[in-house]
Structure 1
């Protein structure tokens, strides 16, 4: 155990102890180099050499895997330090508590909260499962889920996660049958078992079961939740029962399916099902003659398609004509549920969400749930999927203002943390768009993706001392971004591109110089960014503030560039 005010790794000053486990203690620390708070986990010296080697191997695997992730629900590991007979793991500081701690203090949680957490966890697990190669978390349980004061979920402890290669052989990770009894799926403990996305689905189902009932799945097994609390929903009972079936083929096959079921669980309740049956019987009584006629004429399929198109057009028309944003959103959702492969409802939602310059938490939750629900059908048309991914990425990049941004801290105190949170949220969408070489905007999507990669990876690289050579390619991407933004008519995009570029030139001029970027090139880019901002005539308070930020940054940026070319002796070069 280290004392308060102790400096670890010559830069991390211990501020306070914030947690303690069997083999580790967690501290809050201040980084003197970046002026940022981190959490530091101290793994105390273990006398058993074999056990110590296993701990170090697990932490190394976790660090190597996480540094390639880019999801707001996955805290980063940025440094590993061995000193004072201990191993110190430096990671993102997440304010909040684990779901296990919450359950211990308050007992079973409400359906609404548990379902909300479940949908958020489906989102992060789906991100892991869709990676190439896929990542199987293998250790979903309440103690590995942090809940922030804002209600956001963070997934922690990737110690036994695996990147799964061909023939299910792990590329990274421990291939032994590991997991937590009660939460781990049966195949995790089967010598011949194969783990995949459905393994995590089982564990998430077991986690939700525990949060709803307070009954540990290892002690009493997973039983229908209403046998423990009859007030719980029968629809939610069926959802959890399906997620936790022993046969992987009988479970939900993807987390997108699981999330959809969680969102609509109330529709499965007995009362709702009974009402639907009554409605269906009435419908059959009035339409049997028409159905018979259609069958005889061979026109049933044509009529069904016509009816579907008619319904779709109706809801799209209703949405377009409605001045109430909530009503319009509901109509677009209905249209998306009818034609599950059409991107048009999503594109119209993007226009609605960005009109006021603010893509909110509530809008993000609705949009993300809807697109996850129909992702498989949307992906069938590669060009449409690339376009939708690109437009979604732009929405996050320039307009998102939700809770995912509240815990973000930029590389430097001079930077805008909200901008970097938006970039982080947009990253995967830009990568999706850039992957389609035939997409008309694949090049600019690639520029956005590369800029996002730099900004999400640079802190760990700086900490590891391996950031050299990364700045000149980033500078080239900024040049391309300004070139692209100069052709845009959207003032939000023009001003944000200008501010991002001026920001980078103010923070990294010495890094750019070290990588071979000339003073002339830096000054030229700063002038182009400033000119781009000056060309905008603000029409809203937000645009006015954005333009003022760019104007106020012009001189400090020029000064930073000039200072970067003054050596230690004071000679300008």
Structure 2
């Protein structure tokens, strides 16, 4: 960890650590060239065990992705203003976002025995969808790959900010290999199954949709969902949101479970489609003939019960007809 008072790049004075992970840390810092400006400095540390060739490729990838991030400009994203390297560490400088993260707000609600209001959570979701839709529409598209409550801040003005670009992924059609020591895998409860493993070739916008759905699940139920590996081994371990919080509307539950489908093809194909499901409005664009939301567990159960009831009714009618037919 960098000590308070450390001066980076002859400009950024470290004030305090904000967070720490296995591959680095995030600090609040003072920009000594712009008096009074606070910024967040994201540190990426590659381990000494990394092959030198991979280390060099990872650094080139960092600079390429940082340059893309620096061009992003959206009210629900912190602005990236600088990036540089010192020794074996890479640094990304962005706006410091005041306020509390949503994990703190969930913990506070749970401790007081209450659930967050669905309308409030949907307003936050709408802002997150704005940011993700903007990122996914970049050329090339930009994936966040680590959406979770602790990476989402609520500012004192009530604006949502999606922070920490530590696992960002730039989708490039000619890229065949990703350096996993830089990309990481995200946080288990919010990470889709395709993001596990050695590379990111199979991740796309639907991977962020899974993480957003898992985040909304946590926000509305006060309970983090089981991780994708556990769900793969125990398909019934995901408790439907309304079983934990009956105040959740069926429409929102259906949207969340669709976003959290294990296979990407079963999820909404875009953030815009997911937002339409949350709102209960028609999906954007032409009618989607190849994708339809999968049934919720309640719909599956009702379908089974209805089928059994129809079979029982059919058997009863056949028996009644046989009885009547046999009468003289």
Q: TM-score, normalised by structure 1?
A: 0.41
Change (3 A) 1:99 1:39: same
Q: Which residue of 2 aligns with 1:78?
A: 81
- Once the two structures are superposed, the pairs formed by residues 83-98 of structure 1 within 5 Å of their partners are 88-98=91-101
Change (3 A) 1:241 1:73: same
Give 1:224 deviation, angstroms.
0.9
Give 1:42 deviation, angstroms.
6.6
Cα pair 1:147 1:154 within 8 Å, conserved: yes
User: Aligned pair 1:179/2:186, yes or no?
Assistant: yes
Change (3 A) 1:90 1:138: closer
Question: What is the alpha-carbon distance in structure 1 between the residues aligned to residue 191 and residue 42 of structure 2?
Answer: 27
Question: What is the alpha-carbon distance in structure 1 between the residues aligned to residue 42 and residue 141 of structure 2?
Answer: 30
Cα pair 1:162 1:173 within 8 Å, conserved: no
Give 1:96 deviation, angstroms.
1.4
Change (3 A) 1:42 1:139: closer
Unaligned 5+ runs, structure 1: 266-336, 338-372, 378-573
Q: Which residue of 2 aligns with 1:236?
A: 252
Cα pair 2:70 2:82 within 8 Å, conserved: no
Q: Which residue of 2 aligns with 1:63?
A: 66
Change (3 A) 1:148 1:172: farther
3-state secondary structure, aligned to 1:50? coil
Cα pair 1:44 1:87 within 8 Å, conserved: yes
Q: Which residue of 2 aligns with 1:24?
A: 25
Q: Which residue of 2 aligns with 1:136?
A: 143
Give 1:248 deviation, angstroms.
2.0
Q: Which residue of 1 aligns with 2:311?
A: none
Give 1:203 deviation, angstroms.
1.2
Give 1:72 deviation, angstroms.
2.0
User: Aligned pair 1:212/2:206, yes or no?
Assistant: no
Unaligned 5+ runs, structure 2: 231-236, 287-328
Change (3 A) 1:92 1:105: same
Give 1:105 deviation, angstroms.
3.1
Q: How many equivalent residue pairs?
A: 266
Question: What is the alpha-carbon distance in structure 2 between the residues aligned to residue 102 and residue 229 of structure 1?
Answer: 17
- Once the two structures are superposed, the pairs formed by residues 23-172 of structure 1 within 5 Å of their partners are 23-32=24-33, 34-35=34-35, 37-41=37-41, 43=43, 48=48, 50=50, 53=55, 60=63, 62-82=65-85, 88-107=91-110, 108-166=115-173, 169=175
Question: What is the alpha-carbon distance in structure 2 between the residues aligned to residue 58 and residue 112 of structure 1?
Answer: 40
Question: What is the alpha-carbon distance in structure 1 between the residues aligned to residue 256 and residue 44 of structure 2?
Answer: 39
Question: What is the alpha-carbon distance in structure 2 between the residues aligned to residue 47 and residue 178 of structure 1?
Answer: 16
Question: What is the alpha-carbon distance in structure 1 between the residues aligned to residue 89 and residue 169 of structure 2?
Answer: 26
3-state secondary structure, aligned to 2:37? strand
3-state secondary structure, aligned to 2:31? strand
**Could you list the per-position Cα deviations for residues 326-355 of structure 1 after superposition, in whole angstroms to 9, with x for gaps in the alignment?**
xxxxxxxxxxx8xxxxxxxxxxxxxxxxxx
Question: What is the alpha-carbon distance in structure 2 between the residues aligned to residue 228 and residue 72 of structure 1?
Answer: 33
Report the structure number with the largest CA radius of gyration: 1
Q: TM-score, normalised by structure 2?
A: 0.67
Give 1:202 deviation, angstroms.
1.2
Question: What is the alpha-carbon distance in structure 2 between the residues aligned to residue 130 and residue 42 of structure 1?
Answer: 24
Question: What is the alpha-carbon distance in structure 2 between the residues aligned to residue 75 and residue 172 of structure 1?
Answer: 25
Question: What is the alpha-carbon distance in structure 2 between the residues aligned to residue 213 and residue 104 of structure 1?
Answer: 11
Q: Which residue of 2 aligns with 1:254?
A: 270
3-state secondary structure, aligned to 1:21? strand
Give 1:29 deviation, angstroms.
0.8
Cα pair 2:65 2:169 within 8 Å, conserved: no
- Once the two structures are superposed, the pairs formed by residues 319-468 of structure 1 within 5 Å of their partners are 374=284, 376=285
Give 1:214 deviation, angstroms.
1.8
Question: What is the alpha-carbon distance in structure 2 between the residues aligned to residue 170 and residue 218 of structure 1?
Answer: 31
Structure possessing the higher relative contact order (Cα contacts under 8 Å, 6 or more residues apart): 2
Question: What is the alpha-carbon distance in structure 2 between the residues aligned to residue 257 and residue 8 of structure 1?
Answer: 43
Q: Which residue of 1 aligns with 2:206?
A: 198
Give 1:217 deviation, angstroms.
1.5
Give 1:111 deviation, angstroms.
1.0
Q: Which residue of 2 aligns with 1:10?
A: 10
Give 1:210 deviation, angstroms.
0.9
Question: What is the alpha-carbon distance in structure 2 between the residues aligned to residue 91 and residue 228 of structure 1?
Answer: 37
